Each structure stands twice: as structure tokens, then as C-alpha cells.
Amino acid sequence: MKFGGTSVATPQRLRAVAARLIARHDAGDEVVAVVSAMGKVTDDLLALAHEINPEPPEREQDMLLATGEQVSIALLAMAVQAAGADAISFTGPQVGIVTDAVHSKAKIVAIDAACVGEALAAGQIVIVAGFQGRTTDGEITTLGRGGSDTTAVALAAGIAADVCEIYTDVDGVYTADPRIVPAAQKIDVISYEPMLEMAASGAGVLSMRSVEFARNHAVTIHCRSSFTDTTGTIVKEAQPDMEDAIVSAVTHDRGEAKITIRGVPDRVGIAARVFSTLADANVNVDMIIQNISEEKKTDISFTAPQTDLHRVTQALDACMAEIGAREWVIDDDIAKVSIVGAGMKTHAGVTAKMFQTLADAGVNIDLISTSPIRLSCIIAADQMDDAVRALHTAFGLDATDVIEEATPC
Ligand code: ADP
Ligand code: ASP
Ligand code: MG
């Protein structure tokens, strides 16, 4: 049972989570909880780090951010104990979450959950800090924003749990972010592939790594509300009777930037040089477009997370002179809107409909990328919300009778 930041934001909410854990334990289940830092603590710690040092060294930043989750686990264990049940808290390193050494977005490479098994056998509720691990050298690492989901799924796989329940501040995975599209509908069941594409293209309700991990280890995820008992969204292996919606969701991502390298010599090996330098700097490049060359010079544009921009600039500075390009420019006033659907690969006309819908909404498309079950367009950031709503309507995803509610807290 994983609880996100909003779900553990106050002492009152921590008590409510404790009550949920105890109820499940009393019902006869063995319970492992994974928790995030309280409320906006991770954001606050990041802001503090940047106030002290505009480019915080990533090792120290991980050391700092990992404290957020450690506060939550200790308080939650105390809340369970105050309610008369037995609980024990563990940090990520304590439960043997071993990662690679890429600070700030480390990947889990192994889990030795022996101490979890021992505590469960002793009848304790086990509470684990999300988002953190350690390298084989004992260095503290964090798993990237939203990484507590990954901890939860990885632990669920490590202890062969029946299900990994991800409790959050919405009722489940919706056809679009319900904060932007009031007419969005909860999806009851979705298979790993479309969920992975949704998470990868911005549906932050589940982190991409967690879905990837779930798919690779066949972990069933139940994404649900921590404020109600309503059934949420089940993410699992595709079943023969599961319907493949042509478009199951519209997603958005405001967290990327577009980088354009101008006047790049159109020669064999140049793209390889640029992108291997970026890969060596651990930049997650997303879309890439290279224009037709004129007089043996071309422009290359690509997108990358805004959080990777300092690595991008360092990497480009390092190879600009060698590749002989004129300059590079960054535009971070962009957004990515995507449509995702497993049925898309067998249906014609989806691309045309997406482009026409954006045109009708007066939205100019800058870059385009596709996968067999996703279509993404880069557009101006200030048109993102309208574009998402227009696509949601055009692909028939709007709920027919929407009751407008206050934004969930
Ligand atoms: P937590 O702190 O519990 O991990 P997150 O903020 O990471 O919660 O994720 C929940 C948020 O994800 C919701 O509040 C919602 O605004 C956002 N979200 C984005 N896309 C979707 C979607 N398709 N379905 C549901 N929620 C979404
Ligand atoms: N606290 C971390 C974050 O805010 C991890 C998480 O909540 O999943 O990104
Ligand atoms: Mg999250």
C-alpha cells in the first residue's frame, strides 16, 4: 500500500493512513506500506538546495531529498503504534534497495527484502521510505520524481505481493488529468502498454518506471483514492477479453524543453556524436527532428526534461566546437500533448483527426513523434489546456453527465 505526498501531508492524514493499514492487517493481510515525503516537502527541500547552491551537487541533493521520506516513515510508524498496533519503519537502504549510481534518477538493480519478510513474520506492519536506495558502495540515491511508486512496485515484486495498491489524491487513472479536463472519466482496467505510454507522456498519477517495473515483473497495480473506499484503476497484463480502445487517454507534459542546434554540418557521424555526448551525461532525450539540409548545414531539434537542462548545456558546450555547429538555443515555453490507445495501431485516420482537431483549436504543431500506440505533438505551453480538452472531446472521451466538483485537495 503506497501513499503519496498529499495522503500523508498532515498528522491527521497520517493517522488516517495508519487506520487503513491497521484495518487491512486486522482483516488478516500482511501489510507493507511505502510512503512519500509529506505534502510538498520534496519541492521545499529542492528550493532550499537551490537557494544555497544554484547547481546543487547531485550526491548532496540526494542526501537531502532522502530525508523527506524518512520523516514520513517514522511518523507513520508512531501513528500506527499510537493506535495500538505494531509497526516498524525502514529506509530504502535498510530494506536492501540497491540502485545504480546515477544520482537523482537512479534505477533499482536489486532488492533483498529479507528484513521485510522477518518483520511481517513477526506480525508487524512494515513501513518503507519510498524514492530512495543505495548504491553497492553505500551511497544514498533517489529514484527521480514520483519514485515512491517505483519503490512500491519493486517491493511488491520482491516479496511476491498479491497486489500493489497506489493510494493517491484522485480516484484512479483517468482519460485525462481531471484537473484540466472536468469531463475526464476513470478508467476501470488498463493493460501495461497503454499505461506505460500514458505515464511516459505525462500522466504523473503513476510514475513511468513503476509501470515498467510492474510490466516486467507482472505486478498488478490498483491505483485508488486515499480519501475514499471506491475501487480505482487496475493495471495488469492484457487479457483476451479486454477491449482495445482506439484512444484511451489524452496526456500532457509541461516539463520538457526544446533544444535546437543550428548550423550543424550535414556529415556522417555528427548526430551520433551529439546524442552519445547527451547519453553519457544521462540526459533523457525524447523527440528528435533533423531538418533537410541546405548548403550542407542543417538544424537538429530535440526535447529533454527541463530538469536535465544543465546537463544538456554542459554536454553541448563540450561538443559544439568539435562538431562545428553555429549555436544552440533553448525554448522551455513548450508543452507536449499526446493521445494514447492500444487500438490505434490497427486504425487509420487517427493522426489526421488529431492534427485537424489541433488546427480547429488554432494550435500550431511544432514537433511530432509517434509510437504504435501513441501520437505526441509539441505545442506552445499556453495552448496546452485547450488542446487537451479539444482532443478529449474529439476522441469521444468526455463523460456525458459531468458533475463539476471542487478540485480535490
Ligand atoms: P502522489 O503524491 O499521490 O504520488 P501525484 O501528484 O504524483 O500523487 O499524482 C496524482 C495526480 O496526477 C493527480 O492529482 C492528477 O492531477 C495527476 N494526473 C495527471 N494525469 C492524470 C490522469 N490521467 N489520471 C489521473 N490523475 C492524473
Ligand atoms: N517525494 C518524491 C517526489 O515528490 C517521491 C514521490 O513522492 O514519489 O517526487
Ligand atoms: Mg506520484
CATH number of the domain where residue 164 is located? 3.40.1160.10
- Number of domains, the chain: 2
Q: Is the CB of 148 under 6 A from ligand 2?
A: yes
Q: Is the CB of 68 under 6 A from ligand 2?
A: yes
Pairwise CA distance, residues 118 & 267, whole Å = 60
Pair (23, 161) in one structural domain:
yes
Least Cα distance to 342 among 137, 187, 226 occurs for: 187
Q: Which of 154, 169, 184 is the last residue of a domain?
A: 169
Pair (145, 267) in one structural domain:
no
Pair (164, 258) in one structural domain:
no
**Would 154 be classed as within a structural domain?**
yes
Pair (157, 9) in one structural domain:
yes
Closest ligand to the CA of 65: 2
Torsion angles phi and psi, residue 146, rounded to 5: 80, 10
Q: How far is the CA of 182 from the centre of ligand 2 (A)?
A: 25
Pair (158, 255) in one structural domain:
no
> Torsion angle, CA of 170/173/176/179, rounded to 10 degrees?
10
Q: How far is the CA of 179 from the centre of ligand 1 (A)?
A: 9
Q: Is the CB of 205 under 6 A from ligand 1?
A: yes
Pair (7, 88) in one structural domain:
yes
pLDDT of residue 118: 96
Pair (165, 278) in one structural domain:
no
Pair (245, 152) in one structural domain:
no
**Would 333 be classed as within a structural domain?**
yes
pLDDT of residue 244: 76
Closest ligand to the CA of 173: 1
Q: Is the CB of 273 under 6 A from ligand 1?
A: no
pLDDT one digit per residue (tens) for the chain, 409 residues: 999 999 999 999 999 999 999 999 999 999 999 999 999 999 999 999 999 999 899 999 999 999 999 999 999 999 999 999 999 999 999 999 999 999 999 999 999 989 999 999 999 999 999 999 999 999 999 999 999 999 999 999 999 999 999 999 999 999 999 999 999 999 999 999 999 999 999 999 999 999 999 999 999 999 999 999 999 999 999 888 777 789 999 999 999 999 999 999 988 899 899 999 999 999 999 999 987 777 888 999 999 999 899 899 999 998 888 889 999 999 999 999 999 999 898 888 999 999 999 999 999 999 999 999 999 999 999 999 999 999 999 999 999 855 454 444 4
Q: Which of 145, 169, 193 is the last residue of a domain?
A: 169
Tell the burial category of 120 from Cβ atoms under 10 Å away from its Cβ (0-12, 13-18, 19+): middle
**Would 40 be classed as within a structural domain?**
yes
Q: Which of 169, 187, 202 is the last residue of a domain?
A: 169
pLDDT of residue 331: 96
Residue minimizing CA distance to atom 9 of ligand 2: 145
**Would 174 be classed as within a structural domain?**
no
Q: How far is the CA of 131 from the centre of ligand 2 (A)?
A: 6
Least Cα distance to 110 among 93, 130, 124, 127 occurs for: 93
Q: Is the CB of 4 under 6 A from ligand 2?
A: yes
Torsion angles phi and psi, residue 15, rounded to 5: -65, -40
Domain boundaries, position 51: 2-169
Closest ligand to the CA of 170: 1
Residue minimizing CA distance to atom 2 of ligand 1: 4
Pair (388, 246) in one structural domain:
yes
Choosing from 173, 205, 374, 391 the residue with most ligand 1 atoms within 8 A of its CB, the one to mutate for a pocket test is 205
Cα-based distances in Å from 248 to 54, 241, 244, 264, 344? 41, 16, 8, 39, 9
Q: How far is the CA of 64 from the centre of ligand 2 (A)?
A: 13
Residue minimizing CA distance to atom 21 of ligand 1: 177
- Using the structure block, give the residue that is written with the C-alpha cell 503513476: 206
**Would 199 be classed as within a structural domain?**
no
Please identify, by atom number, the ligand 2 atom nearest to the C-alpha of residue 149.
8
Residue minimizing CA distance to atom 12 of ligand 1: 205
Least Cα distance to 132 among 112, 148, 118, 120 occurs for: 148
Q: How far is the CA of 204 from the centre of ligand 1 (A)?
A: 5
Q: Please answer whether residues 299 and 260 qualify as being in contact, where contact means their C-beta atoms are separated by less than 8 angstroms.
A: yes
Pair (157, 264) in one structural domain:
no
**Would 182 be classed as within a structural domain?**
no
Give the Cα-Cα-Cα angle 18, 21, 25 (nearest 5 degrees). Answer: 135
Q: What are the beta bridge partners of residue 380? A: 334
**Would 212 be classed as within a structural domain?**
no
Residue minimizing CA distance to atom 17 of ligand 1: 205
Pair (243, 141) in one structural domain:
no
Pair (144, 257) in one structural domain:
no
Please identify, by atom number, the ligand 2 atom nearest to the C-alpha of residue 207.
8
Pairwise CA distance, residues 259 & 304, whole Å = 8
Domain harbouring 381, CATH code: 3.30.2130.10
- Using the structure block, give the residue that is written with the C-alpha cell 498479491: 162
pLDDT of residue 239: 84
**Would 196 be classed as within a structural domain?**
no
